[in-house]
Copies of this chain bind each other. A is one copy, B any other.
């Protein structure tokens, strides 16, 4: 297994409708991804932060045993910051402020030791940056990318190029509709597959996820969670669990993808139980395996 992720690393401030607030906590798509994937094996991270990045946050990567050789603390730059507030439904959110900072600069170079990576996850960031990174991995076996409404609206041409270079795309249902103009999730996924990738995973938040693959369509519910403190990073930890499992199984068949999606679902269900990486930091692999068993038993009707 040689799984690598690149994406955002950020300092988040998050407000939830019950009045709770997490101020300046560790966040970013690649962080949630890497923490989630770490339960299945080694994870390599490529990304940059600014001089303002707290030392304690680096310690948090260490906890998950993430390989941070590719993490650059860039002098004279500032870390990406996001401040968001969830609406009453705990699904939709508004961005109060966002400062791209170092995220608007070049990615750090990929360390030589990373270049044999076979499983590549391009967490949500500018599609040009995602594409540029790919050239570094001549032995790549599976490339999956995430994207967001911003790039669909502003960088559709580059994103369309990227879709021809990747094996799988992960995105939200609203983003799938924005990209294709189609509100039926499966038909939207059909259209995306026609644009290049072999499969698409559409994330539906509290309503689960759907895999569209040439060998079949797999719809899974979310884990039925009573406790949702902060949904930030749910989609990224879902992708981390999914890719982590795929890399550990070293198999990308339809059946393994369905199983991987179930693992992603279960990791995400823990992630939302606290702000930032709060819950994953205390999560043991045995707990994860137990909930996975419970989840798959529930589905075995």
Contact = CB atoms under 8 A, between A and B. Distances in A.
Interface string A217-247: 1111111111010000000000000000000
Main secondary structure of the interface of A (DSSP, over half): mixed
Given A90-B183, A224-B219, A259 B190 contact: no
A90 B186 CA distance: 14
Contacts of A217: 224, 298
A98 to B, nearest CB: 26
Band of interface residues on A: 35 or more
A108 to B, nearest CB: 37
A41 interface: no
A170 B282 CA distance: 37
Interface of A: 88-90, 183-187, 190, 204, 206-208, 210, 216-226, 228, 258-259, 261-262, 296, 298-301
Contacts of A210: 221, 224
Nearest to A216: B298
Given A88-B183, A228-B184, A259 B207 contact: no
Contacts of A299: 220, 299-301
